[in-house]
Structure 1
């Protein structure tokens, strides 16, 4: 049996729920990636906002290697030092007083939504169970989280879906006012909608959500799976806005590429998750927690966070310069190093074509829906990589537009 694999093998052995690019990355360093043939790519995708410190960051490699030689897994029948150290660091640097560890953003949100309902039932009775979320939101792929997410395409064919969930318009205070009631146990918001098109929330919208939750004894839940861990230039986006949630979900960038998720909350809310109410076999494993602790240490430095803001401007200026020539974007929006290039009507629905064109030029990009090209690079991407990547993006756009 041959150990050689190609992209064609994907179509033969994998469940067909993904449509990956035509090349297979085999090596990464910083913001550069190489495929099986040795061809180099610049990475503006960041593993979908996961590779917060790029590929194979030497301090993360050293941390993982050191922990791998000590202890991998003991389960939550026991605790472990890396989990406790990470928990302490998270409570020292955020609003949170308690932390629950899991393996992904979907699991972090699943825990958040279960905790919100349990807290509502504990304090106000079982009828306080409604979860409100934004239309066009995304909170994961479990049946519960995909139902809370406000995109019907992700629940088609999977019914019946969980009840007690309703949706309101993002950035629309009046829509939230009309939806919330004393039966609402939680209002769930992404401070920046990621999959929904890289749409930042208005500060007034988040402030109103906080006030309405307080009025109706509902918990405010921020999904910061994509916006957290330095992505906006603050450690978490809620700090950028000055609006504090009751529960926050984190994943993606917190592990720098190693799978880990976390749900952060207050002591009062956490009490509703007593022994046996929720769990995760792999959650809080020593390998993931050791790496995540090092990620947080490195990211939560003024030089890195200030660098995110500077790099944001470098990207925006470069993208706007490209657009001045080719006029393919309606706008470039986002915060920090989570950016969305909204395509003009002439190119609406064709975001994937921009990805394919970029691939030909040696550039890795993302989409956010059908009409937004998304960028979520390393928080420490070098300026030379930004400039070279933008040059490759411009070459891709030039080729794409010339074919019209």
Structure 2
């Protein structure tokens, strides 16, 4: 150990004290801010703080509390959440009904033995089958989005006994080796080349390009296991495809015996105004991937659900051949996801988001008529992209909104288009505040950049 036992215990007790205290004094708050900067620079990644400068130029804002549609820093500065953890908080921050379920399960038992039958995993799988389209039936749960994508790709190969995958340019499917191989952005792929072979990328929204890629691979003796696609591209800048795109992909995949994988990690659980974004076009994928909002904004859980025919004898005979994540489908996470499905259906969150999204998009459209730097608005439900002439202008708008108590977010390393993904429970009052403060910010940034 690099430190003595007493030093480790002293530091651990100090940190635990911060967590357990209901209120902190100013001295303690200032210490936590200093500690956070030092810890990120020396023990996490110094680049993280540079990235966070996209919203906060001159100060370190340390997130400390949250409530429904907002969060606060250590000093009580409150921010309306228009980023939503890139889609996590569809049901709001610390939704009381979901917290209640998770707390009850925590007081019973937290993690599973790995050997006995854990009932909540079975209940969640059944609920997921009940609320997904068509004949999707068998589920597999894991912890992160990239892990769920890996499971989907592996299942497609296992079930098809085929090789190639078709993905799309600018797609984002995660950063593990299989997931980043399917991802369509060079900036994420280049550091890890050569990646897993057998992935071909085609233009998003162009079904003819997908069919041509499949035909060409088959013509030269290759086999194609699946096509993986986001119903709406998120990280690419909220790109909504033509209405007939997914139906045509379904026809093409059926024609050539290729599985269709819908990556609904960001779009699922009501985010676009339907429970699942594929429902807008009436398409049933062979595998659907879920995540982000699936844990109700309380616990991390992701997963896949597939049609019965994909659960082949290989998987029946060896249930862990697909994967065996230690914490996948654990009782706490399953309790949260069960609560999330129940709450989403009971309060018609997709319907709420559809109505609120129409209002918000309408108000944003009015702003675009008055501000030349707002070059495009696109999206569906509460998955909205605002595009600007440059990344620099996008960052300036993000900072201006943050200064006014609104948190939004660029598409990771690029803010030319930034995302608005607020909680589905967002009030009309808060939506109007967002519009008012965005109007002020756009006026300010236009003056700054000489528009």
Q: TM-score, normalised by structure 2?
A: 0.84
Q: Tell me how far apart the structure 2 counterparts of residues 118 and 209 of structure 1 sit (CA, whole Å).
A: 21
Report the counterpart of residue 176 of structure 2 in structure 1.
142
Q: What pairs up with 1:208-227 in 2 under 5 angstroms?
A: 208-227=248-267
**Once structures 1 and 2 are overlaid, which stretch shifts more, 304-313 or 270-279?**
270-279
SS of the residue aligned with 2:288?
strand
The structure richer in helix per residue is: 2
1:180 and 2:180 correspond: no
Give the conservation status (yes or no) of the 8 Å contact 1:131–1:188.
yes
Give the conservation status (yes or no) of the 8 Å contact 2:274–2:350.
yes
Report the counterpart of residue 37 of structure 1 in structure 2.
75
Q: What pairs up with 1:98-247 in 2 under 5 angstroms?
A: 98-121=138-161, 128-181=162-215, 182=218, 183-247=223-287
Q: Tell me how far apart the structure 1 counterparts of residues 330 and 344 of structure 2 sit (CA, whole Å).
A: 21
Structure 2 residue ranges without an equivalent (≥5): 1-10, 16-30
Q: 1:307 Cα deviation (Å)?
A: 1.1
Q: Tell me how far apart the structure 2 counterparts of residues 82 and 298 of structure 1 sit (CA, whole Å).
A: 17
Q: Tell me how far apart the structure 2 counterparts of residues 156 and 5 of structure 1 sit (CA, whole Å).
A: 37
Change (3 A) 1:16 1:156: farther
Structure 1 ranges of 4+ moved more than 3 A: 1-4, 347-350
1:73 and 2:111 correspond: yes
Q: Tell me how far apart the structure 1 counterparts of residues 315 and 401 of structure 2 sit (CA, whole Å).
A: 46
Out of 8, 13, 19, the residue aligned to residue 37 of structure 2 is: 8
Q: Tell me how far apart the structure 1 counterparts of residues 359 and 244 of structure 2 sit (CA, whole Å).
A: 27
Q: Tell me how far apart the structure 1 counterparts of residues 186 and 47 of structure 2 sit (CA, whole Å).
A: 17
Out of 260, 272, 276, the residue aligned to residue 301 of structure 2 is: 260
1:55-99 CA deviation, whole Å, 9 max, x = no partner? 121111211111110111115433312211111101111131100
Change (3 A) 1:399 1:349: closer
Q: 1:172 Cα deviation (Å)?
A: 0.8
Q: Tell me how far apart the structure 2 counterparts of residues 35 and 322 of structure 1 sit (CA, whole Å).
A: 29
1:403 and 2:448 correspond: yes
Q: What pairs up with 1:76-87 in 2 under 5 angstroms?
A: 76-87=114-125
Change (3 A) 1:259 1:12: same
**Once structures 1 and 2 are overlaid, which stretch shifts more, 362-371 or 6-15?**
6-15
1:276-303 CA deviation, whole Å, 9 max, x = no partner? 3122111100000001111111112464
Out of 367, 381, 384, the residue aligned to residue 426 of structure 2 is: 381
Q: Tell me how far apart the structure 1 counterparts of residues 274 and 356 of structure 2 sit (CA, whole Å).
A: 14
Give the conservation status (yes or no) of the 8 Å contact 1:360–1:396.
no
Out of 291, 312, 337, the residue aligned to residue 292 of structure 1 is: 337
SS of the residue aligned with 1:71?
coil
Change (3 A) 1:287 1:17: farther
Q: Tell me how far apart the structure 2 counterparts of residues 245 and 75 of structure 1 sit (CA, whole Å).
A: 33
SS of the residue aligned with 1:200?
coil
SS of the residue aligned with 2:284?
coil
SS of the residue aligned with 1:188?
strand
Change (3 A) 1:17 1:180: farther
Out of 373, 382, 395, the residue aligned to residue 352 of structure 1 is: 395
Change (3 A) 1:75 1:211: farther
Larger of the two Rg values belongs to structure: 2
Change (3 A) 1:352 1:203: same
SS of the residue aligned with 2:64?
strand
Q: Tell me how far apart the structure 2 counterparts of residues 201 and 283 of structure 1 sit (CA, whole Å).
A: 32
Q: TM-score, normalised by structure 1?
A: 0.94
Cα RMSD between the aligned structures? 1.6
Structure 1 residue ranges without an equivalent (≥5): 122-127
Report the counterpart of residue 390 of structure 1 in structure 2.
435
Give the conservation status (yes or no) of the 8 Å contact 1:75–1:285.
no
Count residues in correspondence: 396
Change (3 A) 1:292 1:17: farther
Q: Tell me how far apart the structure 2 counterparts of residues 47 and 177 of structure 1 sit (CA, whole Å).
A: 35
Q: 1:157 Cα deviation (Å)?
A: 1.9
Give the conservation status (yes or no) of the 8 Å contact 1:230–1:300.
no
